[in-house]
Structure 1
Amino acid sequence: MQTAAEGQTDVWAPWVIAADGAGGPDRLAGQLAEAAGEEGLERLLTERKGILLRGFGITAQDLDGVLDLLLPNRLAYVHGNSPRTKVGGNVYTSTEYPQEFTISMHNEMSYAHQWPSRLAFYCERAATTGGATPVLDAALWLGSLDAEVREAFRDGVRYVQNLHDGYGLGKSWQATFETQERGEVEAFLAGAGADWTWKADGGLRVGQLRPATVRHPLTGTEVWFNQADQWHPAGLGDETAARLAAILAPDELPQSVTFADGSPIPAAYVEQIRDRGLENAVDVDWREGDLLLIDNVLLAHGRRPFTGSRRVLVAMSG
């Protein structure tokens, strides 16, 4: 069964597989296998970009088994920059960013040397109001940007993180890398091609040069694939950016971004990237028990503001 988001038919939306009958994990597995056919789930997901599994009555107790089907090799959120809590076997809260704010569009960990190829979101508890997860065709996002912006990012971007040692703004290096051992962090960063410096206060400064676009490994489709707008102060809004600028120098921010050569990215570029991403996104309005599986290269995602006690979990695989 395929539908567009909430009845729209003139725009792309995740493919919906709705429970045929009583639902449950076994029924979900059967319907998903039938939809995937002989070519398998990877090919189906590449074709559809996103799949919404709805009405199967999946509970938190069912989740590990279902995720074993959707994401056979779940990854830890190592070097992730978003605040979240680990709640199971490489299952995390989707974010703990304040609920009154929008989270702009992004492909998960596009700033890292390796990123997950696939994400699965699970709605344990829907918001009272709002709280949709917008999803966006990342090729459409690239095409929506002015040629001047695309050209400016041709050589990629440089990300910089200042990770504290347990107290400060942003995340600690211990939480970011899920370890207390400096040697493990250094080995990870060396393998990632990053540069780093241990600071006198025990914190860690990390720099990484990454591309602004990538091509999907199966389709060859070029997509916008960076988080410049989320790492740049202009992406935070004027008021928040001004508050940070009043207390921190640019090179002391928890995270920042420049062009590959170290030159500043104009605020107008950042605002265009952020705004056109959100304008072209399609909202997935959650119902409890829903699962959303997405290709993390072909689709970006975000979060709309909400009220209530929304709880959406996420897991990822290579």
Structure 2
Amino acid sequence: MSSVDTAPTAPTATGANGDWRPRIVRPAEVGVAASPEGLQEFLGGTDIGRLLVEDRAVVFRGFGVSTGTYDGVADLLLPDRLAYVHGNSPRTKVGRNLYTSTEYPAEFEISMHNEMSYAHAWPSRILFFCDVAAATGGATPVVDGRLWFESIDPEVRAAFAPGVRYTQNLHDGVGFGKSWQATFETDDRAAVEAFLDGAEAEWSWQPDGTLRVTQLRRATLEHPVTGTEVWFNQADQWHVAGLGEDAAALAEIVPEEELPQNAFFADGSPIPAEYIRHVQEVGMRKAVNVDWEVGDLLFVDNVSVAHGRRAFTGQRRILVAMS
């Protein structure tokens, strides 16, 4: 594992044990107005790529960003917003490649993950925006991917070293999980087939119209700039053991090969449930919370940093875009 890393040009907050935390940027600290225009002024004079490599995650707070002024700021941080094609989380598209962060029930936590790390290509940048803060809870926990990797038991890391095999069964409009139409944002089979071929995935159409997809992906990744090795997979979010009681109940009535999604070791052998629970527990324990204020933006290096969600009460609306 490479030891190359880059020290930040500005102080990055740390916890009591010296762990990394996201940097918080406020108007007074960078000498601009407390407005969306002030944030645009700051971003216009900043090497954003370097900022993200050095700080890994940045919260822009106190600039009064709203849904009406979001695009002007977001276009500086995400020059080319991506559609959420082949995404597995339930979301609603609300703007120009802008989505609700997730529609997973409020009472459940979402474990740590790098967005679309199961895919052939993934976003390098993610931008979260707080439109409505939860009444209680609802923080977005973030974890340093290197810390997560190094904190996982060596036996578990070794077992995952050859990679992860992901399987999906995407129904044709009726069934458990997401449909293939919603997953790929099209009802054109040929377009889906071309996408999957380009993604080096194995796929087949089932007699009932279900699309079965298998992908072999890496379990860790080296950051393209720093060379730092990080934990980079979503095995725990695809494996039945990581999805709670409802998924376990579903697994009792649906054959394993027909589950909406699942994860295996690279050779197709089953991943022990205790490995899945260990990975999830370590990620959540090492994470630090970003507690939302309305108008906050959280800008994340999607390779260096994984994210999740804490349970909450009340109305919470966090929007997300990727690049």
TM over 0.5: yes
1:48 is aligned to: 55
Q: CA deviation at 1:256?
A: 0.2
SS at 1:209's partner residue?
strand
Residue 257 of structure 1: which of 257, 263, 278 is its match? 263
Q: CA deviation at 1:23?
A: 1.7
Q: CA deviation at 1:22?
A: 4.5
Asked if structure 2 preserves the Cα contact closer than 8 Å seen for 1:2 and 1:16, the reply is no
The amino acid that maps onto 2:83 is A
Residue 88 of structure 1: which of 70, 95, 108 is its match? 95
Asked if structure 2 preserves the Cα contact closer than 8 Å seen for 1:104 and 1:303, the reply is yes
- Structure 1: 4+ residue segments shifted above 6 A: none
The amino acid that maps onto 2:315 is S
Is 1:29 equivalent to 2:40 in the alignment?
yes
How many residues are paired up?
311
SS at 2:315's partner residue?
coil
| Greater Cα offset, 242-251 or 61-70 | 242-251
Q: CA deviation at 1:291?
A: 0.1
With over 3 angstroms needed to count, the CA separation of the structure-2 counterparts of 1:9 and 1:152, relative to structure 1, is: closer
Residue 23 of structure 2: which of 8, 15, 39 is its match? 15
Alpha-carbon distance in structure 1 between the residues aligned to 2:16 and 2:33: 26
1:220 is aligned to: 227
1:275 is aligned to: 281
With over 3 angstroms needed to count, the CA separation of the structure-2 counterparts of 1:9 and 1:287, relative to structure 1, is: farther
The amino acid that maps onto 2:117 is S
Q: Kindly report which structure 2 residues correspond to 1:97-136, keeping only aligned pairs within 5 A, or say none.
A: 97-136=104-143
Q: CA deviation at 1:12?
A: 1.3
Q: CA deviation at 1:89?
A: 0.4
Alpha-carbon distance in structure 2 between the residues aligned to 1:122 and 1:51: 12
SS at 2:112's partner residue?
strand
In the alignment, structure 1 segments of 5+ residues that lack a partner are: none
The amino acid that maps onto 2:25 is I
Q: CA deviation at 1:26?
A: 1.5
The amino acid that maps onto 1:294 is V
1:294 is aligned to: 300
Asked if structure 2 preserves the Cα contact closer than 8 Å seen for 1:120 and 1:316, the reply is yes
Superposition TM-score, scaled by structure 2 size:
0.93
Q: CA deviation at 1:65?
A: 1.2
Asked if structure 2 preserves the Cα contact closer than 8 Å seen for 1:158 and 1:257, the reply is yes
Asked if structure 2 preserves the Cα contact closer than 8 Å seen for 1:229 and 1:271, the reply is yes
Alpha-carbon distance in structure 1 between the residues aligned to 2:53 and 2:248: 41
The amino acid that maps onto 2:22 is P
Asked if structure 1 preserves the Cα contact closer than 8 Å seen for 2:133 and 2:315, the reply is yes
String of CA shifts for 1:125-145, please: whole Å, max 9, x gaps. 000000000000011000001
- State the identity %: 63
Superposition TM-score, scaled by structure 1 size:
0.95
Q: CA deviation at 1:3?
A: 6.0
